[in-house]
Chains A and B, each alone.
Chain A
Amino acid sequence: MGTAVFYLVAAVGVVSAIAAMAHRNPVVNVLSLVVTLFSIAVSYALLGAEFLAAAQILVYAGAILVLFLFVVMLLGAPAEPDAGESRPFQRTAGLALAALAAAGGAAVVAAIHAAAPAGALRGTAQALGVMLTGEYLFAFEFISVLLLAALVGALVLVKRKH
């Protein structure tokens, strides 16, 4: 069943990702990305990372993309000014590089295909919590500083000067 779910989820994820990148309507972009992120959350669950799956939805779908949506609406859902690409080289090179990245990923896969997973792994909240407050405590605390800095930075950027 896991394999079937994966293929379903992968198909949904890829299609919605394409929609998220290619659609002209920014609201559709954001919503499609929500779907993609959902599929990634399911993939996490399939990989045994249940806490991450929940956090993925909570953080990305619940907060980050809502923020996107909020901004899109605040700016009046601006569509791109004109459809034409002003930089033909950019378009060609971009597509080529993206394809190259995908091919590179596939090449890596070819190297690891044979290996079997080391075993079932349950990324429960407890297991991750122990690591976060133990081995990675410094990074964990540092993230809080980063978030605070981002908060202040965002505030400063957006605040209107009186």
Chain B
Amino acid sequence: MLELLWLVPALPLAGAIVLLSGALRFGKRATTVVGVGSIGLTLAVVLTVLAQYAGRHGEIVVNHVFRWISAGAINVDFALRLDPLSAVMLSFVTLVGFIIHVYSIGYMHTEGDRAYARFFAYLNLFMFAMLTLVLGANLVVLFIGWEGVGLCSYLLIGFYFDKEYCANAGIKAFVVNRIGDFGFLLAIFWALRVFGTVDFTGMADALAADPARYAAAVTPIALLLFVGAVGKSAQLPLYVWLPDAMAGPTPVSALIHAATMVTAGVYMVVRTNFIFRLSPTAMLVVAAVGGVTAFFAATIGLAQNDIKKVLAYSTVSQLGYMFLAAGAGAFAGGIFHVFTHAFFKACLFLGAGSVIHACSGEQDMRKMGGLAKKIPVTYWTFLVATLALSGIPPFAGFFSKDEILGRVFAAGAGNLNGFGVSYLVLWVLGVAGAFLTALYMFRAVYMTFHGEFRGGHEAEHHLHESPPTMIWPLRILAAGSVVVGLLGVGKAITFGSDLNWFEGFLHHVAPTVEVEHAPALGTEWALIVLSVAVAGAGIALARRFYFGPQAFAAPRRIAERVPGLYAAVANKYYVDEAYDRTVVRPLGKLAHFSWKGIDTIAIDGTLNASAFFTEIAGDLLRFLQTGNVRNYALLVLGGALAAAAWLLL
């Protein structure tokens, strides 16, 4: 069965091709069968493959499909690789992907047949790209998937391309991603030059055999790879595209911008951890970017009123945690957070979708409220996922976030790579972020589901629970948000007995960087209690601010007292405006100059001038063309004699 690994990306691709080759003229039923069916089949294949793989004890299975590039000493195969890391990714990507496909049946059913088919074609294509990314056995194959998900992201964000802000958001996502991809490409070239191969196994073997030889190249390659990851995973300073990407349909936000694609950056860093772990600088950079982003995005999330924007900044923030973990050497911990996050963030987004669906497309939380009674299933699933995200035990997020914070603290206390103080500062940021997370998430919950409905009588009348195809995915994902955390119960919680199945499973490919002086058990328990307390404090504050008769009074007072700060946060620290002023507009001016100044005047002018002179020359020379054959003969003979004379004399 493992030989059939190629089916995993091939099935969604086939689905996409079938849908696109039908020129998007299938009816809804046919589209559903093809679009969802292909992913269902993929899920079946993946489950079979994983069931078989479970007995292999972390063995690395590489499946060479065909030789792709062969140029001199450079050989790149189109090869798929199944190892614990890709197995984990494979499992939740396919599962969450399938659930979201099912959810989309209900969510998109109001679209026209064409748009419906287009949507599922793109979703299938996205699944193909994501699975290729996950399964790629070398950087180049990974890069195909990388670009593929970027393309699909662009297509799906701009799905409602007739609305200008959607199209612009798609372009923005594409362009910002391009910056990261550029770094990634450079990293691939550099790796190819240094290692002579881009194969993960080959590079890891080369590094293991002679680390000193590659010492100089490791840091730049790692940093360039990280540039790519920053772009794809929406970290500072390239995070700006992700909030705008909420312009796409909600299932897309759930699938791409929460569960799968944005985690590709984390996945890639963990995938190439054999490079990162050799470069303390790069590790610190990864951790710093992640930690700062985690805090920074959380603060922005506090002041957002669009329910999807809140979730988007939450995603950015959580991705920051993942990078923080990776940067602290807890690669397995990072992936664990990716794993749990996929469930509860997908659940949150789908819940948000359900809310939006219920409110007839309204996304502003200020016009919601009191929805808990109207759409109870959505409310309860949303609440479960929120608790998971906030890190309340025993929900999934608690285990993964606690693992991360514990590892970061350990790295700081154990003076990892000599950057102990830095890691401690990042730990503080992380804890503060956890507090803010609980705060903004429960703000969203209270604003949306509690209090009075603020959306007007008309909208209230339309409130309704979503169809089963949307409810059941919510239930499954909510259940997942509760249980998946148990896969990676931390050492401290079980009082030192190693029950962390997740980390053990990943140990072969992404071993955690252990620090010399691990914190004592008591310290760890203190940390656990601290993080839970912080989350609880966040929830309590949110309840005080946004619940009950005094709701909104306190935040309004704060906003009035420090208007500058509030405005800055509400306007996302003016980052977009700053980019607009420093990058976009100068570039626009440059482009305008290239067009008007260089292209029109210099290049076109040169061409026109040469054409003009040719015309003049032709006007003059045509007097030679008498139209008389004998005259031509005379000229030819004269010329021949002149040539002969020149040769002879």
A101 CA to B634 CA in the complex, in Å? Answer: 12
A94 CA to B630 CA in the complex, in Å? Answer: 9
B74 within 8 A of A: no
Residues in B306-362 with C-beta less than 8 Å from chain A? none
Across the interface, B634 reaches (CB within 8 A) one of A94, A104, A107, A108, namely: A94
A107 CA to B647 CA in the complex, in Å? Answer: 13
Residue pairs across A and B with Cβ atoms less than 8 A apart, 5 shown, are A87-B631, A90-B631, A101-B641, A104-B641, A104-B648
Instruction: Evaluate whether A87 and B628 lie within 8 angstroms (CB atoms) in the complex, with A93-B634, A94-B634, A97-B634 already known.
Output: yes
Taken residue by residue from 624 to 643, chain B's Cβ proximity to chain A (1 for < 8 Å, 0 otherwise) reads as: 00001011001001100100
Across the interface, B637 reaches (CB within 8 A) one of A87, A101, A107, namely: A101
Question: Is B648 a contact of A90 with CB atoms below 8 Å?
Answer: no
B645 within 8 A of A: yes
Apart from A90-B634, A97-B634, what are 14 other A-B pairs with CB-CB below 8 Å?
Answer: A87-B628, A87-B631, A90-B628, A90-B630, A90-B631, A94-B630, A101-B637, A101-B641, A104-B641, A104-B644, A104-B645, A104-B648, A107-B648, A108-B648
Q: How far is the CB of A88 from chain B (nearest CB, A)?
A: 13
A107 CA to B628 CA in the complex, in Å? Answer: 31
Which residues of the other chain, B, contact A94 by a CB distance below 8 angstroms?
A: 630, 634
Q: How far is the CB of A40 from chain B (nearest CB, A)?
A: 21
The size of the chain A interface, using a CB distance under 8 A, is 10
Which residues of the other chain, B, contact A104 by a CB distance below 8 angstroms?
A: 641, 644-645, 648
A7 CA to B571 CA in the complex, in Å? Answer: 110
Question: Is B638 a contact of A97 with CB atoms below 8 Å?
Answer: yes
- Taking Cβ atoms with an 8 Å cutoff, the residues of A that contact B are 87, 90, 93-94, 97, 100-101, 104, 107-108
A107 CA to B634 CA in the complex, in Å? Answer: 21
Which residues of the other chain, B, contact A107 by a CB distance below 8 angstroms?
A: 648
A90 CA to B628 CA in the complex, in Å? Answer: 10
Question: Is A97 a contact of B641 with CB atoms below 8 Å?
Answer: yes
Taken residue by residue from 596 to 630, chain B's Cβ proximity to chain A (1 for < 8 Å, 0 otherwise) reads as: 00000000000000000000000000000000101
Q: How far is the CB of B633 from chain A (nearest CB, A)?
A: 8
Q: How far is the CB of A93 from chain B (nearest CB, A)?
A: 6
Which residues of the other chain, A, contact B648 by a CB distance below 8 angstroms?
A: 104, 107-108
Which residues of the other chain, A, contact B641 by a CB distance below 8 angstroms?
A: 97, 100-101, 104
A109 CA to B479 CA in the complex, in Å? Answer: 109
Which residues of the other chain, A, contact B628 by a CB distance below 8 angstroms?
A: 87, 90
Q: How far is the CB of B635 from chain A (nearest CB, A)?
A: 10
A94 CA to B634 CA in the complex, in Å? Answer: 6
Which residues of the other chain, A, contact B645 by a CB distance below 8 angstroms?
A: 104
A108 CA to B644 CA in the complex, in Å? Answer: 11
Q: How far is the CB of B623 from chain A (nearest CB, A)?
A: 15
A40 CA to B364 CA in the complex, in Å? Answer: 105
